[in-house]
Amino acid sequence: MGYYINVEPDVKIYVEDLNPAGKKTILFLHGWPASHKLFEYQFNYLPMMGYRCIGIDTRGFGDSDKPWRGYDYDRLADDVRCVIDTLKLHDIVLGGHSTGGAIAIRYMARHKGHGVAKLALFAAAAPSLVQRPYFPYGVPKEGIEEMIQETYNNRPEMLRRFGQRFFHKFITESFEEWFFQLGLQAAGWATAAIARTWLGEEGLFTDLGKIFVPTLILHGIHDQVCPFALAEAQHRGIRNSKLIPFRDSGHGLFYDEKDRFNQELIKFIEE
């Protein structure tokens, strides 16, 4: 079941709601530059196991509206709050991949975990994707600046190269094309705006200490997009967190080791 939810008077975001009668609810926030369809191999399986799965397309991406503004973490976290309130969700598991993980962290801090019983982070781009004088574990900001310029000059080529770094295991040409098309569905300005958010000074360092719910951190040790050191920093900063390394995965661990990913997520939900 898919529908649109107004998060501002002139902005609607797309929500996919699978198995609304499920015993427990997982709300998924996708990573850059894709859509909720990134979790296809979770949505194929988890509803069969009795879970309700809700996927949000971040504004600017997938089937959501693509406004010119609103791509900072605060606004994106507020969009999540609109969905949770509109659907009257409570005691959910909030799961976020990459930038979706960063949005989930900001949501937990900004909205005090409203409606969320557990948090799951998958290769999250937090507490800072880029290196800073006080945080050397991210990626050089020059690489992000280059991606922004490529987005403005030749976005398809940027997406092709990004896709080649996303997965650790071999993927077929047809699968690579599927992933590429997810990125093309986004607006170019939204793709660049999210990347500029990574460069901003609003890192998520203080947000980590405001998370009090049980938190699962899943992260591939071969991740070329969000280095594994970010997961270790999350683990240090979030009380009551558990870090599980995926030793045969890159950034796309939900596909690289999808069976293990699904099982670890179910185990966490049922704990």
pLDDT digits (tens, 9 = 90+) for 43-82: 999 999 999 999 999 999 999 999 999 999 999 999 999 9
For residues 72 and 200, is the Cβ–Cβ distance under 8 A? yes
- pLDDT computed for residue 196 by the predictor: 95
For residue 231, what pLDDT is reported? 98
| Entry pTM | 0.97
Burial of 162 (0-12, 13-18, 19+ CB in 10 A): buried
Q: What is the pLDDT of residue 219?
A: 98
The helix-helix angle for 73-86 and 99-110 (nearest 10°) equals 70
Q: What are phi and psi of 211, to 5 degrees?
A: -100, 125
Element (H, E) at 151: helix 141-166
Structure tokens belonging to residue 151: 């987005």
| Segments in the chain below pLDDT 50 | none
Q: Which architecture, in CATH terms, is 2-270?
A: 3-Layer(aba) Sandwich (3.40)
pLDDT tens digits for 178-209? 999 999 999 999 999 999 999 987 679 999 99
30 is catalytic: no
Which residue among the candidates 36, 97, 219, 251 is catalytic per the annotation?
Answer: 251
Annotated active-site residue 251? The verdict is yes
Q: Is 72 a catalytic residue?
A: no
Q: How far is it, in rounded angstroms, from Cα 147 to Cα 199?
A: 12
Catalytically annotated residue among 223, 241, 249, 256: 223
With a CB cutoff of 8 Å and minimum separation 6, the contacts of 151 are 158, 188, 191, 192, 195
Spot the catalytic one: 30, 36, 97, 98. Answer: 98
